Amino acid sequence: MAESKARAWIAVLAALVGGLTLAAPRAMAQHPDRLAELIAGKQRSPGNVARDVYRKPYEVLKFLGLTDSSVVVEALPGSAAYWTEIIAPYVKEKGLYIAADRDPAGPPETLGDYRRMLAKYAADPATFGKVETRPFASDKFEVANAGSADFVLTFRNMHNWMDRGELDGVLKVFFRALKPGGVFGVADHRGPPEATMEQLMKSGYVRQDMAISLIEKAGFKLIGSSEVKANPKDTKDYPEGVWTLPPTYRLGDVDRAKYAAIGESDRFLLKFLRP
């Protein structure tokens, strides 16, 4: 039993180390430009680099069309700052990165991650010194000046907004923030096409067709989709939903090597235009 558990942990560590040591150099070798340099840069945390094999930052940002002069709003970037570590330094000279994250006057129990995010920014002014922070809570605040943003991005947040009945308000705020012709980029855990709303809310997944319908209802126009974040190993039928998989591992050590081998969830990536 102990030997089996040890082998499981070795498999997990090997996967992490492999991603950490290979992802950044491969990005540089395959894509020798400023964005690739930042993806391979020292400003990034090892934990975030290890996730590149699943999150495909270069391919995602190129698909969405970001440039170094873009005004970019990211909704709920969090203290891990996976995308912030790349986008903020990429646009800091010619553009602007806006972190739309939490209401500072909200309940104290919801603000721990927000405070850690601010502390991370303060500890690395070379990377985050020009980041603008904005409060965000459904449609309570504006995440940017009206019609000023080239991009609004959200990664793995739609499920929560749908569950809390906030999605309509959120999409209105994003629509107002974007310039005409601006891009709304959405990535999320892709649920089975036959899943009911009840099943989705329990599992953490979002049906791609449902996401498209709800976002287009808010006035956006779908102009592209990408399979770069697809994961055919994800069977979407786990005891604790999508949170069974890395990086959450809600079951702890139970079958950890099995879920590490699956990797992060199957995800859709959608690109919408604000007419």
Domain boundary among the residues 54, 69, 87 is at 54
Residue identified by tokens 């991650």 is 113
Largest CA distance in the chain: 60
Residue identified by tokens 């749908």 is 162
Are 4 and 126 found together in one domain?
no
Which two structure tokens, joined as six digits, stand for 49? 């680099």
Residue 139 lies in a domain: yes
Identify whether the C-beta of residue 133 lies closer than 8 Å to the C-beta of residue 93: no
Are 157 and 203 found together in one domain?
yes
Assess whether pLDDT exceeds 60 at residue 204. Answer: yes
Residue 259 lies in a domain: no
- What does DSSP assign to residue 274? -
- Closest by alpha carbon to 41, among 73, 88, 97, 100? 88
Residue 118 lies in a domain: yes
pLDDT of residue 110: 82
Are 21 and 4 found together in one domain?
yes
Question: What is the average pLDDT across 191-199?
Answer: 97
Are 41 and 125 found together in one domain?
no
pTM, two decimals, is 0.88
pLDDT tens digit string along 239-269? Answer: 999 999 999 999 999 999 999 999 999 999 9
Enumerate the β-bridge partners of residue 195.
Answer: none
Are 41 and 177 found together in one domain?
no
Distances (CA, A) of 223 to 182, 201, 253, 270, 273: 11, 27, 42, 8, 6
Are 7 and 122 found together in one domain?
no
Domain boundary among the residues 54, 73, 99 is at 54
Residue 39 lies in a domain: yes
pLDDT of residue 31: 57
- How far is it, in rounded angstroms, from Cα 156 to Cα 267? 9
Residue 179 lies in a domain: yes
- CATH of residue 64's domain is 3.40.50.150
Helix boundaries (H) for the chain: 2-30, 34-39, 46-49, 52-55, 57-64, 84-91, 112-123, 125-128, 158-163, 167-177, 197-203, 208-217, 256-262
30 pLDDT band (50/70/90 cuts)? low
pLDDT tens digit string along 227-240? Answer: 999 999 999 999 99
Cα–Cα–Cα angle for 92, 32, 84, nearest 5°?
30
pLDDT of residue 107: 87
Are 46 and 70 found together in one domain?
no
Tally of domains within the chain: 2
pLDDT of residue 255: 98
Which two structure tokens, joined as six digits, stand for 98? 């806006």
The residue range of the domain holding 94 is 55-254+264-273
* Total residue count of the chain as it appears in this document: 275
Enumerate the β-bridge partners of residue 222.
Answer: 272
Identify whether the C-beta of residue 101 lies closer than 8 Å to the C-beta of residue 133: yes
Assess whether pLDDT exceeds 80 at residue 27. Answer: no
- The neighbour count for residue 62, using CB atoms within 10 Å, is 16
Are 112 and 192 found together in one domain?
yes
Are 91 and 3 found together in one domain?
no
Q: Of residues 25 and 258, which shows the higher confidence score?
A: 258
Assess whether pLDDT exceeds 80 at residue 195. Answer: yes
pLDDT of residue 4: 46
Residue 47 lies in a domain: yes
Identify whether the C-beta of residue 218 lies closer than 8 Å to the C-beta of residue 272: no
Identify whether the C-beta of residue 250 lies closer than 8 Å to the C-beta of residue 158: no
Question: What is the average pLDDT across 38-49?
Answer: 98
Are 45 and 173 found together in one domain?
no
What type of residue sits at position 272? F
Sheet of 149-155, strand order: 132-134, 96-100, 71-75, 149-155, 178-189, 267-273, 221-226
pLDDT tens digit string along 132-170? Answer: 999 999 999 999 999 999 999 999 999 999 999 999 999
- How far is it, in rounded angstroms, from Cα 237 to Cα 255? 14
Residue identified by tokens 């990211």 is 74
pLDDT of residue 29: 54
Residue 138 lies in a domain: yes
Assess whether pLDDT exceeds 60 at residue 9. Answer: no
Residue 221 lies in a domain: yes
- The neighbour count for residue 119, using CB atoms within 10 Å, is 10
Assess whether pLDDT exceeds 90 at residue 109. Answer: no
pLDDT tens digit string along 46-103? Answer: 999 999 999 999 999 999 999 999 999 999 999 999 999 999 999 999 999 999 999 9
Are 132 and 237 found together in one domain?
yes
Question: What is the average pLDDT across 30-43?
Answer: 90
pLDDT of residue 16: 44
Identify whether the C-beta of residue 97 lies closer than 8 Å to the C-beta of residue 131: yes
Question: What is the average pLDDT across 194-220?
Answer: 98
Are 138 and 247 found together in one domain?
yes
